[in-house]
Amino acid sequence: MKKKWVAIFLLMIFILSCIVTKGMAEHTFSVVLNGEKLNFDVLPIQAHDDILIPLRSVLESMGGQVAWHRGGRVTATIEGNSVEFVVGERIAIKNGLQFVLSHSPSLIDSRVLVPSSLFSQAFNAEVDSNLQIKQVHILYNNDNTSKAKELVLHYLQLLERASTENISEQKWRDVFSESALTSIRGSQMEKHYTSYIISYPRVLSWRYRTASSHFRTILVTASYQLDFPHHPTNPGLNIWRKEVYEIIQEKDKWVIDSIREERRHHSDLPRYVLNPEETTALERNWQRNNYYTKEEILELNRTLIEPAFRLIYASHNFDGPVETMPHEQQVEYYQKKSLFLPEVINSSGWNSFLEITAHYDLFFQVLQSVSTENTVQLSLVADLFAQASFVPAFFDIELKKVNNTWRISKISNVSAFSSSYHLKIDDPDKFEMLATLYNFWRVRAKWFGVNESFVAP
Summarised one tens digit per residue, pLDDT across range 142-178 is 778 888 999 999 999 888 888 777 788 888 889 999 8
Model pLDDT, residue 19: 38
Judged against a pLDDT cut of 70, whether residue 192 lies above it is answered with no
In whole angstroms, give the CA distance from residue 27 to residue 46.
10
Distance, CA of 372 to chain centre: 31
Residue 231, classified by CB atoms within 10 Å of its CB into exposed (0-12), middle (13-18) or buried (19+), is middle
Distance, CA of 266 to chain centre: 19
Model pLDDT, residue 339: 93
Q: Which residue has the higher pLDDT, 205 or 450?
A: 205
**Helix-strand-coil percent breakdown of the chain, rounded to 5?**
35, 35, 30
pLDDT digits (tens, 9 = 90+) for 84-132: 899 999 888 887 677 888 889 999 988 999 999 888 888 878 888 888 8
Model pLDDT, residue 409: 96
In whole angstroms, give the CA distance from residue 434 to residue 390.
12
Q: Which residues, other chains included, contact 398 with Cβ-Cβ below 8 Å and sequence gap of 6+? A: 375, 376, 377, 378, 408, 409, 410
Q: Which range among 277-281, 383-387, 411-415 shows the weakest confidence by mean pLDDT?
A: 383-387
Model pLDDT, residue 213: 43
CB of 382 closer than 8 Å to CB of 363: yes
Model pLDDT, residue 236: 67
The DSSP bridge partners found for residue 43 are none
Q: In terms of Cα–Cα distance, which of 225, 233, 243, 144 is closest to 185?
A: 243
Domains of the chain: 30-139 (3.30.457.10), 143-267 (3.10.450.100), 276-448 (3.10.450)
In whole angstroms, give the CA distance from residue 339 to residue 202.
40
Model pLDDT, residue 2: 52
pLDDT digits (tens, 9 = 90+) for 309-349: 988 988 888 877 778 878 888 888 889 899 999 999 999 99
Judged against a pLDDT cut of 50, whether residue 56 lies above it is answered with yes
C-alpha distance from residue 309 to each of 98, 288, 329, 404 (Å):
20, 28, 15, 21
First-last CA distance in the chain = 81
Q: Which residue has the higher pLDDT, 407 or 202?
A: 407
Judged against a pLDDT cut of 50, whether residue 385 lies above it is answered with yes
Output the pTM of the full model. 0.53
Report percent pLDDT > 90 for the chain.
23
Q: HSE (CB half, 13 Å, CA atoms) of 146?
A: 5
What is the torsional sign of CA 288, 294, 296, 301? Answer: positive
Judged against a pLDDT cut of 60, whether residue 187 lies above it is answered with no
What's the mean pLDDT when you consider all of the chain? 80
Rg for the chain, CA atoms, rounded: 28
Q: Which range among 117-131, 233-247, 261-275, 433-447 shows the weakest confidence by mean pLDDT?
A: 433-447
**Which one-letter DSSP state was computed for residue 168?**
P
Q: What is the mean pLDDT of residues 437-448?
A: 58
Model pLDDT, residue 370: 96
Judged against a pLDDT cut of 90, whether residue 16 lies above it is answered with no
Q: What is the mean pLDDT of residues 399-426?
A: 91
Model pLDDT, residue 307: 87
CB of 240 closer than 8 Å to CB of 205: no
Q: How many other C-beta atoms are found inside a 10 Å radius of the C-beta of residue 379? A: 17
Q: Which residues of 158-181 are buried (b: 16+ CB within 10 A; e: fewer)?
A: bbbebeeeebeeebbeebbbeebb
